[in-house]
Amino acid sequence: MKQERDQAQLIEMFRLMALARALDERMWQLNRQGKAPFVISCQGHEAAQVGAAMALRPKQDWIVPYYRDLAMMLAIGVTPREVMLGLLAKADDPSSGGRQMPAHYSHRALNIVSHSSPTGTQVPHAVGIALAAQMRGDDVVTWTSFGEGTSSQGDVHEAMNLAGVMKLPVIFFCENNGYAISVPQRKQMGVENVSDRAQGYGFPGVTVDGTNVLEVYEAMTAAVDRARQGHGPTLIEAKCVRLTAHSSDDNDRTYRSADDLKAMKTRDPVHSYEAYLRSEEILDDAKIAGIRDEIKAQVNDATTFAEKAPLPDPLTVSRYVYAE
Amino acid sequence: MAELNLLEAINRALDESMAADDRVFIIGEDVGQRGGVFRVTDGLHAKYGEKRVIDAPLAESIIIGSSIGAAMYGMRPVAEIQFADFIFPAFNQIISEAARMRYRSNNAWEVPMVIRTPYGGGIHGALYHSQSIEAFFTHIPGLKVVAPSTPYDAKALLLASIADPDPVLFLEHKKCYRLIKGFVPDEPYTVPIGVADVARTGSDVSVITYGLMRHYAVEAAEMLAKEDISVEVIDLRTLRPLDRETVLASVKKTNKVLVLYEDNLFGGYGAEVAAIIAQDAFEYLDGPVQRLAGLDIPAMPYSAPLENEFLPTPEKIADTLRDLVQY
């Protein structure tokens, strides 16, 4: 029975990763068709995000994400339709009603907190949420994510320091894809692993292969247990790959060689997990085709739905500056 | 009814709000055992414990940033920035985050928090313990900025700020802390955010001001009364939202106006007030919209003669008003 449940979970992880990839690819198509002014991608981060999400309790735990977290959003419960409403800046976009750029995810009902574009500003919020949960005695873990470039920000340091002092139930999740737009990690920090810094804050830091969903899940489960038991924060660094340019406005061929890009594709987390599930005989051609057909239908539905959805009324531009 | 100074009135508001609502907590530098460097939070650590009166690490951005998170979770944080001069490491959190959360989430999220901070000079605080910071923050939609000058107003406006669903920057003039005393009712009373006070009625000229300058303006008005010049003093109390009606009604009555503030003149908060008067009361004016403010130097220097030279004083205010009445 346990094995069956585990198998279902393993397949669900694959479905989420493949859905995130398909949705992400569709976003780029819409961008190239001139329908979506801006896309920022999660491609290469799917395993890290889905592995992390599976260790959390949606609607109970709090999610303070950053702009690459499409797969995390889907895993917590944001629907493809909602994602597409955001991409096309439609009135019913749950993140912001079309006010923010796409991928600035927020979903109140799912405890997914709105974030801005200046990087790292969300990390102190996660610490404050964890502080509030601790004060109230609530069984809540707060998860926050950021790239390795953002780990240079002072806000990240200040947040980790306070979390360490107060032993807060928060997980700092660094999705390290090696590049901050164009700047490689070796120019960003003097250490090999972002997780090394955790020691300086008095809590554990671990580095995992962010392209291996099961490895991430395992590390996250340990961190979540630690937080729930009142032992405080964990810093998890998931080494990912960035399979696209930084965004639709970037051209990574100006700073990454063709060989580098080719090498990176060999670490594609969706492909490697599919291969693993085949080798374990959990999935076969027929099952995979079934999942992919279902995903394609979902992505098509989400696209059509969002394209037909109304844009925001310009007369609403001055609303919600203050409480009404 | 008790006679309190400004600092004691603020302490009383904090105590009452914490007693009434267990979501209210205090976070800041030295606010706990020490009760704050000015002693504004004196006694609260002993009464409510270290979980609700939190001595934060020495890092302003996380004081504000964590308060934002806690507010979104449903708490009512009251963050203290030890001196307004130290608020700039948290500028991004206030401007990009707290002030924009409601708008950018299309009303899904809100940040009901208060940032208390002592500002202003005249206490030999030099460049980094004397600044007026209001112009940076009144520029920002989404933020409310409150600057009471009397114990009566301070207590009620702090309670109103803590109850407010939006982020409020609560400016406490540090020279007023112990200098300004007044009667504060024991029973509940309210002063709404966004309503100015006619601190003194007059008919010849209006002074629009706030903070320590309200008291200096009243002093100047008393001097000029002996010369048969009748000065009306408007204490704005809230800088954003601005009570335009009270300001414009006063100017339309007296037909002459001085906008008085302690911050540097250029681009200061009073510039906006002056622009509104020039635009909306132009036909009532019998003289130029006059401004008197701090000097356009980087900040208030330490040595007494230099500090005095920087600040508008009752004498300088009276001189300016005499000239304006003559115009």
CATH number of the domain residue B253 falls in: 3.40.50.920
- The pLDDT value given to residue B1: 83
Residues B240 and B125 in one domain: no
Rounded to the nearest 5 degrees, what angle is found at the Cα of A113, between the Cα atoms of A111 and A118?
165
- The pLDDT value given to residue B155: 98
Give the mean pLDDT of A103-124: 97
How many domains is chain A partitioned into structurally?
Answer: 1
Q: Report residue A60's pLDDT band, with 50, 70 and 90 as the boundaries.
A: very high
Percent of chain A exceeding pLDDT 90 equals 97
Q: Dump pLDDT digits (tens) for A147-162.
A: 999 999 999 999 999 9
Name the residue among B52, B89, B93 with its Cβ closest to that of A121. B93
Residues B74 and B158 in one domain: yes
Nearest to B36 by CA among B89, B6, B81, B86: B81
Radius of gyration (C-alpha) of chain A in whole angstroms: 19
Distances (CA, A) of B16 to B5, B13, B29, B111, B188: 17, 5, 21, 21, 10
Contact A201, A173 (CB under 8 A): no
Query: A324 lies in a domain?
Result: no
* Inter-chain touch A114–B144, beta carbons under 8 Å: no
- Which residue's structure tokens are 């999660």? A42
Query: A323 lies in a domain?
Result: no
Interface contact A96, partner B, CB < 8 A: yes
Contact B84, B133 (CB under 8 A): yes
Residues B209 and B254 in one domain: yes
Residues B174 and B296 in one domain: no
Torsion angles phi and psi, residue A199, rounded to 5? -55, -35
pLDDT score of A4 more than 80:
no
Residues B156 and B216 in one domain: no
Name the residue among B62, B93, B109 with its Cβ closest to that of A114. B109
Amino acid at position A205, single letter: G
Give the domain CATH number at A31.
Answer: 3.40.50.970
For residue A322, list chain B residues with Cβ-Cβ distance below 8 A: 102, 142, 144, 165-166
- Distance from A316 to chain B by nearest Cα, in Å? 10
Buried b vs exposed e over A88-127: b needs ≥16 C-beta within 10 Å?
bbbebbbbbbbbbbbbbbbbbebbbbbbbeebbbbbbbbb
Give the mean pLDDT of A52-70: 98
Residues B164 and B255 in one domain: no
Find the residue in B nearest to A324 (Cα): B107
Q: Report residue A3's pLDDT band, with 50, 70 and 90 as the boundaries.
A: low
Name the residue among B66, B92, B96 with its Cβ closest to that of A131. B66
For residue A64, list chain B residues with Cβ-Cβ distance below 8 A: 69
Interface contact A130, partner B, CB < 8 A: yes
Residues B132 and B281 in one domain: no
Give the mean pLDDT of A16-40: 97
- Distance from B131 to chain A by nearest Cα, in Å? 24
* Inter-chain touch A158–B75, beta carbons under 8 Å: no
Query: B304 lies in a domain?
Result: yes
Query: B190 lies in a domain?
Result: no
* Inter-chain touch A129–B70, beta carbons under 8 Å: yes
Q: Report residue A5's pLDDT band, with 50, 70 and 90 as the boundaries.
A: low
Query: A183 lies in a domain?
Result: yes
Which domain-ending residue is among B156, B184, B212? B184
Residues B158 and B285 in one domain: no
For residue B61, list chain A residues with Cβ-Cβ distance below 8 A: 124, 154-155, 158
ipTM of the complex: 0.97
For residue A62, list chain B residues with Cβ-Cβ distance below 8 A: 73
Name the residue among B52, B56, B92 with its Cβ closest to that of A118. B92
Residues B269 and B226 in one domain: yes
* Inter-chain touch B75–A132, beta carbons under 8 Å: yes
- The pLDDT value given to residue B112: 98
Residues B206 and B130 in one domain: no
Query: A178 lies in a domain?
Result: yes
Amino acid at position A293, single letter: D
For residue A97, list chain B residues with Cβ-Cβ distance below 8 A: 106
Query: B114 lies in a domain?
Result: yes
Omega within 30 of 0 (cis) for the link into B241: yes
* Inter-chain touch A155–B65, beta carbons under 8 Å: yes
How many domains is chain B partitioned into structurally?
Answer: 2
Query: A321 lies in a domain?
Result: no
Domain extent for B316: 197-326
- The pLDDT value given to residue B44: 98
Q: Dump pLDDT digits (tens) for B217-232.
A: 999 999 999 999 999 9
Alpha-carbon gap, residue B198 to A248, rounded angstroms: 56
Query: A322 lies in a domain?
Result: no
Q: Report residue A207's pLDDT band, with 50, 70 and 90 as the boundaries.
A: very high
For residue B66, list chain A residues with Cβ-Cβ distance below 8 A: 124-125, 127-128, 131, 159, 162
* Inter-chain touch B165–A64, beta carbons under 8 Å: no
Query: A171 lies in a domain?
Result: yes
B139 is catalytic: no
Query: B189 lies in a domain?
Result: no
Q: Dump pLDDT digits (tens) for A255-305.
A: 999 998 899 999 999 999 999 999 999 999 999 999 999 999 999 999 999
Residues B154 and B255 in one domain: no
* Inter-chain touch B69–A129, beta carbons under 8 Å: yes
For residue A67, list chain B residues with Cβ-Cβ distance below 8 A: none
Treating both helix axes as pointing N-terminal to C-terminal, what angle do A46-53 and A269-279 enclose, rounded to 10 degrees? 60
Q: Dump pLDDT digits (tens) for A139-149.
A: 999 999 999 99
Which domain-ending residue is among B184, B209, B224? B184
User: B45, B129, B173, B215: which is the annotated catalytic residue?
Assistant: B129
Per-residue pLDDT of chain B (327 residues; tens, 9 = 90+): 899 999 999 999 999 999 999 999 999 999 999 999 999 999 999 999 999 999 999 999 999 999 999 999 999 999 999 999 999 999 999 999 999 999 999 999 999 999 999 999 999 999 999 999 999 999 999 999 999 999 999 999 999 999 999 999 999 999 999 999 999 999 999 999 999 999 999 999 999 999 999 999 999 999 999 999 999 999 999 999 999 999 999 999 999 999 999 999 999 999 999 999 999 999 999 999 999 999 999 999 999 999 999 999 999 999 999 999 999
Q: Dump pLDDT digits (tens) for A167-192.
A: 999 999 999 999 999 999 999 999 99
Domain extent for A13: 2-316
Give the mean pLDDT of A318-322: 98
Give the domain CATH number at B27.
Answer: 3.40.50.970
Q: Report residue A2's pLDDT band, with 50, 70 and 90 as the boundaries.
A: low
Q: What average pLDDT does chain A have?
A: 97
* Inter-chain touch A121–B97, beta carbons under 8 Å: yes
Q: Dump pLDDT digits (tens) for B269-307.
A: 999 999 999 999 999 999 999 999 999 999 999 999 999
Residues B16 and B138 in one domain: yes
* Inter-chain touch A162–B66, beta carbons under 8 Å: yes
Find the residue in A nearest to B90 (Cα): A155
Query: A259 lies in a domain?
Result: yes
Name the helix (H) or strand (E) containing B145: strand B144-146
- Distance from A72 to chain B by nearest Cα, in Å? 19
- Distance from B69 to chain A by nearest Cα, in Å? 4
